[in-house]
Structure 1
Amino acid sequence: MRVKCSCGSKGAIRNSKKESHDLSALYCQCLDVNCGMTWVSHLTYSHTLKKPLKPFKERNEPT
């Protein structure tokens, strides 16, 4: 996944934190040494385009 800083330069995801089953916080940093901005973006699950061919385990099922 690519991220871009508001200055127009490339950014990097330095860390992530799962906030819920469908939401993660992405901790990003600008790669331009003259900028150095840091920010948090959120990544969320939206919807399925094609169902899987094999069944998947529910969250509460034991592995």
Structure 2
Amino acid sequence: MPLSRLYNVFFRRTSTFVLSIAVAAVVFERAFDQGADALYEQLNHGKLWKHIKHKYETHEK
């Protein structure tokens, strides 16, 4: 995408510029949050309650 096209699509109007920044921020936040959660799960695998609860729960009827 040439710079002139990028300018005409995203940066020429203030409303489009602000909207593109807001959308980019939401997408970045979502991707960062999911990446951090995946890293935390990987580093703590076998230590979290959801991984070890089968050892401590009893199934009473």
TM-score interval (norm. to shorter): under 0.3
Q: Higher strand share goes to which structure?
A: 1
TM-score normalized with structure 2 length: 0.20
The structure with the largest helix share of the pair is 2
